[in-house]
Every structure is written in structure tokens, then in C-alpha cells.
Structure 1
Amino acid sequence: MIHEWVREALQNEANALMSTSEQVGEEYVKAVEMLQHCTGKVVVTGIGKSGHIGKKIAASLSSTGTPAFFVHSAEAVHGDSGMIESKDVVILLSNSGETAEVLNVLNIIRKIGSQCIAITKNPESTLGRGSSAVLSYRYEREADHLGLAPTTSALLQLAVGDALVVTLCKVKGFTKESFHLFHPGGSLGNQLSQAGDKAQSEQGK
């Protein structure tokens, strides 16, 4: 029985990913172009599980050559929004698009003049209608038996963020050498170093 429940949860999330991939449209193009032409930083904000996903998106952007950092939505309305400038692009995450803390940040960003990208399930939400680009996703239910825990929705937010990051890498012409510059440590850094040494050795022959 347990293995059936595990398989059901995985299938639920896999179906949601496929459904979301089929609705990619011009809003995604707009978002990538906004990030590509950003002359400031990329700021990511959210709260709860969306906040955890936002931290990962900011980290992925930074490690692939796009300066980015995460600001907790609750902290942003208590002074941390001072880190945001008009030339920045802000990515706001809220599954419902009605999270009070995130909407408070949205109001501040409007006054600052930054462009906004919303990642939400509801493009017609307050967050969606107030953003420059809306990256929405689709799913029937969360993966848990109650249909309440942020599981499928969190996965989709992460996947949308990853899609932005990898597409931006291609648009910017990000290379293995570029990646190694920002990620020289760990096993991945060693792997890239060895590949670079091998390439230089072959060129010297």
C-alpha cells in the first residue's frame, strides 16, 4: 500500500508539471526578456514554502551569472525593501496570488518603480494583475491525502524558477567556463577544473 501512495504522489506532481509545460506562452518570453535586460539586480520574495522556493531561485540565478538575492516578504515591509531599486526586477511568489505579506511588498515595489514578475497559480489574482509578467501554473490538487500541504504547488514554483534560470543562461550565452568562475568549489568545481585542464592540454599538443 505504501509504495502505491508514493507512486500516486509522484504521478500527481508529474502530471502537474506536464500540464504547466503545455501552457507556456508570451508571459514567459516577457519575463525572460525582463531578466535579460535588467540593469540592476533580481530580487526574489515570498513567505512560507514559497519563501523557501524563492531562496533557491535566487541562488540559482546568482550561480549562473545573474546577480540576485532573496528578501523575506515580512521583513521587506519592515525596512528590507530599502535594498530594492527602480532598476531591479522583482520576482514575487504566492500560490494563491493573495498572500497579504507579498501584496504589501507589491505595493512598495510599485512606488519604487521596479518591474515585477509574479509566479502564481492564479493569473487573475491581485498579484497577477499587479505584475508586469505573470508566470502561472496548473495543477488539480496538492499531493498529500488532504490536498492541503504545499507539495505540488511548491514543485511547480521551483520548476518555473528553474525554467527561467536555464532559459536565461541560453539567452545570455552562459558557458561552462562562466559557471566555473562562480562555482569553483566542491565536486562540480573539480569536475569543471579537470575538463578545463584537459582542454588546455589538448590545445597545447
Structure 2
Amino acid sequence: METIKYASEIVKELHRSVERIVEEEAETLADIILQSNKVFVTGAGRSGLMGRAFAMRLMHTGINAYVVGETVTPGIGKDDVLIIGTGSGETRSLIPMAQKAKGLGASVVAVTIAPESAIGSLADALVKLPGSPKDQASGGHTTIQPMASLFEQTLLVFYDAVILRIMDKTGLDSDRMYGRHANLE
């Protein structure tokens, strides 16, 4: 298969994946974000990179958003939310973060393939995303892509869709968001 044909198949997979997201779960996430004082985003590996992109866009909307582990990230507390993007829901470094956030009175949202996972069971709200080759074993969504690429891509598209929903709910547009864009680049 040629490179462009691979890209075309990836787009088809993303379309099928996104169609399987439950709208009510997505809407709940947007509402939780808008009701929170501060939003903390985390994930490991490529899922963490998607979370970083999400936190950046949240900041552009005027939301107090932070990436866990950065030197300028404040403490989490009551009226805050921790959003964890995790395919397996079992990433060992993320489980204690969810526990600590809950212990400090914050809400936890898991965006995951596995709602029944350790992180899923700790979460106050869940968004189930399809998108892993592991889904194939249970008769779920298949992919030509390696490892968890489809989950990670779906995660980024989903996060961007949540941003659009927040923009819609708050009457925000891209022109106003540019005022918060980095200007020391």
C-alpha cells in the first residue's frame, strides 16, 4: 500500500472510531470543565502528548488549564478536575495521581478504552473511546495501525471536539482565542 492510501485508511478508521463515542459522555466532560476552577490534564506517552495539546487549547479558551508535572502547575484541590487520557486505564504512574486528586477533593475524569480499569473505577466521570488493536480480540474495532495509534488519534480529535463544544457553549470564537496565543515564539 502506498503512503497516501495508508493515510486515507487512517482517516476512515478515525471516522469509524469517532462515530462510536457516546455524546452524553462527551457533553458531561465539557460541562465538568466549564464548572471547574482549574483543569489538570495528564496521560503517559503519546496519550500525554494529546493531553498537552488539549491543555493548550483549553488555555486559549480562557480556562485555567495545566499539564501535570510542569514546573508552573499549581496544586489541585476542591472544585478542580483531573482529566486522564489513558488507553488501558492501568498505567502505573497515573493511578496514584487519580487517587491523590480524589483525596484532595478534586473530580477525576478518565478518557479511556477501558472503563472497568483501575483508573476507570476511580473516575467520577468517564468517556469511553474506541481505538486499540486490543479491541480486535473482543470483536471490536480493527485497525491497520500499530499499537495504540488509533486511540491516540481519536483522543486528539475528541479533545478538539470538546474545545469546539466549549466554544459553542461560551460564545467564543477563534479570533478571540488568538489573544491568548503565545507571542514569545
Between the aligned partners of 2:29 and 2:49, the Cα distance in structure 1 is 21
2:42 alignment partner in structure 1:
45
The one-letter code sitting in structure 1 at the alignment partner of 2:112 is T
Q: Structure 1 residues 49, 23: CA separation in 2 closer, same or farther (over 3 Å shift)?
A: closer
**1:43·1:68 contact (CA, 8 Å) conserved in 2?**
yes
Q: Superposition RMSD on alpha carbons, in Å?
A: 2.6
1:105 to 93, 97, 104: 97
Q: Structure 1 residues 18, 142: CA separation in 2 closer, same or farther (over 3 Å shift)?
A: closer
Q: Aligned-pair distance for 1:27?
A: 1.7
- Match runs of 1:91-130 below 5 Å: 91-130=83-122
Three-state SS of the structure 2 residue aligned to 1:101 is coil
1:2 aligns with 2:23: no
Greater radius of gyration (CA):
1
Structure in which a larger fraction of residues adopt helix: 1
1:135 aligns with 2:127: yes
Q: Aligned-pair distance for 1:110?
A: 1.1
The Cα offsets for residues 9-67 of structure 1, whole Å up to 9 and x where unpaired, read as: 541453243333343232222111111111x1110011111111111110011012212
Instruction: Please report the TM-score for the alignment, with normalisation by the length of structure 1.
Output: 0.75
The one-letter code sitting in structure 2 at the alignment partner of 1:21 is E
- Match runs of 1:105-184 below 5 Å: 105-139=97-131, 140-144=141-145, 147-148=146-147, 150-183=148-181
2:53 alignment partner in structure 1:
56
**1:63·1:182 contact (CA, 8 Å) conserved in 2?**
yes
Three-state SS of the structure 2 residue aligned to 1:69 is strand
The one-letter code sitting in structure 1 at the alignment partner of 2:53 is K
Percent of aligned pairs with the same residue?
Answer: 25
Runs of 4+ in structure 1 displaced over 4 angstroms?
79-82
* Number of residue pairs matched by the alignment: 175
2:68 alignment partner in structure 1:
71
Three-state SS of the structure 2 residue aligned to 1:107 is helix
Unaligned runs of 5+ in 2: 132-140
1:31 alignment partner in structure 2:
29
The one-letter code sitting in structure 2 at the alignment partner of 1:62 is M
Q: Aligned-pair distance for 1:156?
A: 0.9
Unaligned runs of 5+ in 1: 187-205
Three-state SS of the structure 1 residue aligned to 2:94 is helix
The one-letter code sitting in structure 1 at the alignment partner of 2:165 is T
Three-state SS of the structure 2 residue aligned to 1:100 is coil
